[in-house]
Structure 1
């Protein structure tokens, strides 16, 4: 089984998340920011994006803007969001091989389910665990282990693909190989090859390379 992060791995959600941030800026009488300014922080979550949009505010003041951000985002989940190149082919290949795939994300579960359904994958995704499904979230391995439990697949028979260092830490703590998604949302100083993932995929098409999505058990 292959488990994926959502934002920056399966889907380019930056257009819709940046639009939500800019709607909050507009409500606060601020000028909009270019999507390119917000894009590198998408995988870090809503708070990180609000920190870019409102750098002068303290954490408590930015947290007060979080409900507005989530409200705007929830009202327009899949407007500009699209799968990354090669992802559709990779998912189809996983299914054709008789395997399954799922999503483990730090995005709130309801929003994640809305995005997955909106993109047309609702019946194809075998398991979905969000950032609020459990009391902990990545880099804790518990969400990945819960996804395995729900599908009835041991962690050793899974592999996890993600675009953030937290994804690699969570996968390795869960006992499954990590694939670093080189195409995801990274700040300029971040080097995904330094995260210690067992493998790195240059783009979605590279997921189809032999052995890229192999589990630990299949390589034993």
Structure 2
């Protein structure tokens, strides 16, 4: 792979539905199409991460990712949680941090999330954006590498 590509996903309502119990995230119900899409992106050479607004600790999030099967599909070093980083997806700095962790120019980074405001924030720092994992797969397979 030439320069590399990093694809960062929102977690809730993009990759999985969060199930809450007593005000805390108890589990992640991963959408059926997600494992195959993430595996295809990885096979295309993309590094995969998460950018998630959560009140849960990193230990809790890592346990939930492991239990859901997502931990093996993403790069741990590219998983950013608002509770750990002290910022959220309404702040451009959160996406700048993700870009810096990937070690890539923003044009080689993609943010995938269902929320249009969050996509606008990511785009404001130069990320490519996608509303759905299938669209992100298309971006990568259609040649993001040659246009980034």
* TM-score greater than 0.5 by the shorter chain: yes
Partner residue of 2:89? 138
**Count of residue pairs the alignment pairs up:** 139
1:155 maps to 2:106: yes
Equivalent-residue separation in structure 1 for 2:116 and 2:94 (angstroms): 16
Q: Which has the higher contact order (CA 8 A, sep 6+)?
A: 2
Q: What are the within-5 Å matches in structure 2 for residues 208-219 of structure 1?
A: 208-209=137-138, 211=139, 218-219=146-147
Name the counterpart of 2:3.
none
**Match for residue 52 of structure 2 among 105, 109, 113:** 105
Unaligned runs of 5+ in 1: 24-68, 182-203
State the TM-score, normalizing by the size of structure 1: 0.55
Seen in structure 2, the aligned counterparts of structure 1 residues 179 and 4 have a Cα distance that, compared at 3 Å, is same
Are 1:3 and 2:8 matched, yes or no? yes
Aligned-residue Cα RMSD (Å) equals: 2.5
The Cα shift of 1:92 comes to: 0.5
Tell me the equivalent position of 2:65.
116
* TM-score normalised by structure 2 residue count: 0.78
For the pair shown, which has the larger CA radius of gyration, 1 or 2? Answer: 1
